[in-house]
Structure 1
Amino acid sequence: MDHNTIALLMFSSLLLMMLTGQRVFGAIGFVAVIAALTLWGPGGTDMGFSAVMKLMKWTPLLTLPMFVFMGYVMSESRLAEDLYRMFHVWFGPLPGGLAIGTILLMVLISAMNGLSVAGMAIGATIALPELVRRNYDKLMISGVIQAGSSLGILIPPSVVLVLFALIARQPVSNLWLAGIGPGLLMAVMFIAYITIRTWLNPQLAPRMSAAERASIPRAEKYKLLRAGLLPIFIFAAMMVPFINGWASLTEASVVGVAATVLVAAIKRRLSWRVFETATKQTLHITVMFMLIITAALSFGAVFDGLGAGRAIQNFFTSDLGLAPWMILVLMQLSFLFLGMFLDDTAMLVIVAPVFVGLAKALGFDLIWYGVLYTITCQIAYLTPPFGYNLFLMKALAPPEFTLPVIYRSVLPFVLVMVLTLVLIMVFPQIALWLPQTVLGR
């Protein structure tokens, strides 16, 4: 049996196991172990051991539990409630003001945790009830919360970009800086869509009434602005030492955790319950990611050992004779298709290692390509039938938010994401300008 057939059999077995509902790390690890033992006998077990050792030596991975812990401390200590109250008061009088405030809240949350899950949990528990109470359209509510929460995997400190750095062997700092411009661009485009849509149809997002605006004292309005300074303080405390070279990436993440805990303590919201819940959830998510990455590295080692990665590169570049940009477009289209059935982590560990090598062989900047991949992950989060955020929204939302409503609500926001993806592909400097300026790449 030739290596192409073996690689195809590995992929088909993996996809089949995932479609049966198996856990991602279990499916990947099982296929990797069976393939290694079949091809190389008992010696093939060393591949998994080597993968674990490689993972243990990659110190930037220590940032993962730090950022997850930050997000849960902020959520459990209700710091996000203060932010949402600020946006409600200041943006409520505008058309779609509360929806715009929800997007801005998600931008600030993203700058402090790096995961879509935390943003979705905060949006569904804090923003959704308020939007429902103010008679916002269900499609608008669902779409805004899901799209806004997806920003957490693009705006630093993004956990997905940390994992991509491991796969692509690129500096996390460059990837983080490259994600800022596209992340803010996407948020602005979300806000532009909301503004135009609600201006054309004000019934979708009723404004705050004049009576309610008058009932809020001016002093309280300005007092609420201080809530917006907290995320800036946490983000600056973490990023300034890192960018200036005063602290390593891991040390900066610890500073971020310390700043978040300090803010929660000053606000008198750092209880034992908050600490226990944040710690348990951090342990759960960290262990899950570690198992997935270990299984993925083992799978990748077998795949590389077959030479399948080089065969795929030769197929696109030599056999088909396609131009580099045509190959890039096909790669992104395949990611978008896979995103309908796999989550971002599965795509990262199954397909990204092959495509990263292909992008490098074609001469594309891997930092830029990492941003393209991450935006594709965002789209995968929202793409039916198996988008991760779709089911999370269904689990957290009231019963009137049915699955058809949730599916329909994300379509315009997915189109905005696709437009952002096209803009970054056509104008790479949107992603590359900041790392080139700050770090001199």
Structure 2
Amino acid sequence: MNYEMIALTMFSSMMVLLLTGQRVFGMIGFVGAAAALALWGNGGMEMPFSASIQLMNWYPLLTLPLFIFMGYMLSESGIASELYEMFHVWMGNLRGGLAVGTIGLMVVVSAMNGLSVAGMAIGATIALPELLRRGYDKVMVTGVIQAGSSLGILVPPSVVLVLYGMIARQPVSQLWLAGAIPGLILAGMFVLYIVVRCRIQPSLGPVLPEQERNLPLSEKLALLRAGIMPLAIFFCMTGLFVMGVTSLVESAAVGATAATIAAAAKRRLTLAVIETTVRRTLGITCMFMWIILAALCFGAVFDGLGAVRAIESVFLDRLGLSPWQILVMMQLSYILLGMFLDDTAMLVIVAPLYVPLVISLGFDPIWYGVLYTITVQIAYMTPPFGYNLFLMRAMAPPEVSLADIYRSVWPFVGIMLLGLALITTFPQLALWLPELVRDY
């Protein structure tokens, strides 16, 4: 059996095993270790061990638990709830205003946490019950929360972009800057859709009752203070990193420390908050580490077989595809993989293969990182097996059915496809800010 067939057998075996519903890291690691043993004998078993040592020596990986801790500390201490109250009052005069405020909440939560699941959890537990109680259409607002949570892996400090930077060997500061404008563009497109649709169909998003809208200006200004603390934490953390004052790990430590101090300042740093934050941080961090460990093992064997060069040869020489056609095929493959895997698993499996190919085709890997994040979030929201759909079903109230969730996503999937097309057509939307900062 030639190396191309071995690589194809490994990849297809992994995909079949993933369909069994077992742990992602177990299936990926098993295929990698079994292939190493079959190809190189007992010496091949050193590859999983080497992968584990490589992971433990990966100093930037410290950013993951620190960023995750920061987000959960701000969430569990109730600071996110205060943010929603601020948006609730200030946007209440507008038809669909609470839905617009929910998008604003998601942007801020994304800037605090960097994970889409955190935005989904906050939106489903804080915003969704309030929106339904206020008479908002359940199909529309379910889509709003899913779309808003998708910003979590695009708006800095995106954890997924940190992982992409590690795997693709690209500067994380440039990736964060590249994701900022596309993330805000998508948020703006979501807001525009909500406002226009609620103007056409006022029953979908009624305004707040007059007694809740006409608060004294002093009370409204007091509510704005709820947004000062998380935004100050975000700008302190990200600003210091972008200016080169702190390293990536130091920046994450600044954010985690500032979030803890903020919770203490509000007298909410209780033992229950600390325990919940630490437990959730450990759970997600360990999940990331196991997946990365398995992917390093699989990738070492896969790359050792020359799979990257084989894929490039098939696309360019045998099929005769143009670089742009290959790029479209890669994005379609992410949408298919998104039916079965989460964004991290897709990244660690496919990025080691695709990133060298992207560079050899003449595309910018920073720009491609932004395309990747948008594409996998589209995959997350696409029926019938999108990851976010079932996550939303698990968190939504009983009156929101799976059929409602399926119906809710299509307008926002269309908006995200339009945003993806814009950034693909005009790469400077993603690259302008990184180039501007680099010049300084």
Q: TM-score, normalised by structure 2?
A: 0.98
Structure 1 gaps, min length 5 = none
Partner of 2:425: 426
Equivalent-residue separation in structure 1 for 2:92 and 2:62 (angstroms): 40
CA deviation profile, 1:397-427 (whole Å, cap 9, x unmatched): 1111111111111111111111111111101
Deviates more, 1:287-296 or 1:258-267: 258-267
Please say if residues 237 and 251 of structure 2, whose CA atoms lie closer than 8 Å, have aligned partners that are also in contact.
yes
Partner of 2:334: 335
Spell out the pairing of 1:90-109 with structure 2 (5 A cutoff): 90-109=90-109
For residues 309-328 of structure 1, the aligned pairs below 5 Å read: 309-328=308-327
Match of 1:24, as an amino acid?
V
**Where does residue 81 of structure 1 map in the other structure?**
81
Which stretch of structure 1 is more off in the superposition, 9-18 or 87-96? 9-18
CA distance in 1, matches of 2:221, 2:249: 36
Q: Distance in 1 between matches of 2:239 and 2:397?
A: 41
Number of positions where the alignment pairs a residue of Structure 1 with one of Structure 2? 440
Distance 2:431 2:337 in 1: 26
In structure 2, the residue matched to 1:70 is 70
1:17 aligned residue: 17
Q: Look up the equivalent residue of 1:18 and give its one-letter code.
A: L
Instruction: Please tell me whether the aligned partners of residues 237 and 259 of structure 1 are also in contact (alpha carbons under 8 angstroms).
Output: no
- Paired AA for residue 309 in structure 2: R
Q: Which amino acid aligns with 2:95?
A: P
d(CA) in 2 for partners of 1:398, 1:211 = 28
Q: Distance in 1 between matches of 2:54 and 2:364?
A: 24
Residue aligning to 1:40: 40
Once the two structures are TM-superposed, the CA of residue 322 in structure 1 deviates from its matched residue by: 1.7
Aligned equivalents of 1:54, 1:434: Cα separation in 2: 33
Q: How far apart, in 1, do the equivalents of 2:120 and 2:147 lie? A: 9
Q: What's the offset of the Cα at 1:346?
A: 2.1
2:58 counterpart of 1:58: yes
Q: Which letter maps to 1:219? A: S
Determine helix, strand or coil for the equivalent of 1:340: coil
Cα drift, residue 30 of structure 1: 0.7
Amino acid at match of 1:432: L
Distance in 1 of aligned mates of 2:33 and 2:394: 34
Task: State the Cα deviation string for residues 300-338 of structure 1 (Å, max 9, x = none).
Answer: 111011111110011111112222112111211221222
Q: 2:166 maps to what in 1?
A: 166
Alpha-carbon shift at residue 367 of structure 1 (Å):
0.5
3-state DSSP class of the match of 2:12?
Answer: helix
1:188 CA displacement: 0.4
Q: Which residue of 2 aligns with 1:257?
A: 256
Letter in 2 for 1:233: A
Which position in structure 2 is the counterpart of 1:440? 439
Per-residue deviation, residues 347-405 of structure 1 (Å, max 9, x unmatched):
11222211111101101110010111111121122122222221111111111111111
The question of whether the paired residues in 1 share the 8 Å contact of 2:89 and 2:212 is answered with: no
Q: Does 1:209 align with 2:209?
A: yes
User: What is the CA distance between 1:48 and its match in structure 2?
Assistant: 1.4
Partner amino acid, structure 2, of 1:345 = T
- The answer for the alignment partner of 2:115 in structure 1 is 115
* Equivalent AA in structure 2 for residue 206 of structure 1: P
Q: Give matches, 1:18-417, under 5 Å.
A: 18-214=18-214, 216-417=215-416
How many Å apart are 1:25 and its aligned residue?
Answer: 0.3
Greater mean alpha carbon deviation, residues 323-332 or residues 195-204:
323-332
Measured against aligned partners, the alpha-carbon deviations of 1:73-93 in whole angstroms (never above 9, x if no partner) come to 111111011100000100011
Is contact 1:342–1:386 with CA below 8 Å preserved after alignment?
Answer: no
8 Å Cα contact 1:343-1:380 kept in structure 2:
no
* Structure 1 residue 240, shift from structure 2 partner: 2.0
**Alpha-carbon distance in structure 1 between the residues aligned to 2:229 and 2:428:** 30
Distance 2:298 2:384 in 1: 26
- Farther off after superposition, 76-85 or 228-237: 228-237
More displaced stretch, 151-160 vs 313-322: 313-322
Distance apart, 1:244 and its partner CA: 1.8
* Partners of 1:124 and 1:393 within 8 A in 2: yes
Contact 2:24–2:291 (Cα < 8 Å) also in 1: yes
Counting aligned pairs with the same residue, the percent is: 65
Please state how far the C-alpha of 1:55 moved relative to its aligned partner.
2.0
Q: Which amino acid aligns with 1:328?
A: L
- Residue segments in structure 2 that go unaligned for 5+ positions in a row: none
Give, in whole Å, the separation in 2 of the partners of 1:126 and 1:439. 39
| In structure 1, C-alpha distance between the alignment counterparts of 2:376 and 2:334, rounded to whole Å | 8
Contact 1:264-1:270 within 8 A present in 2 as well: yes
Partner SS state of residue 273, structure 2? helix
TM, length-normalised to structure 1: 0.98
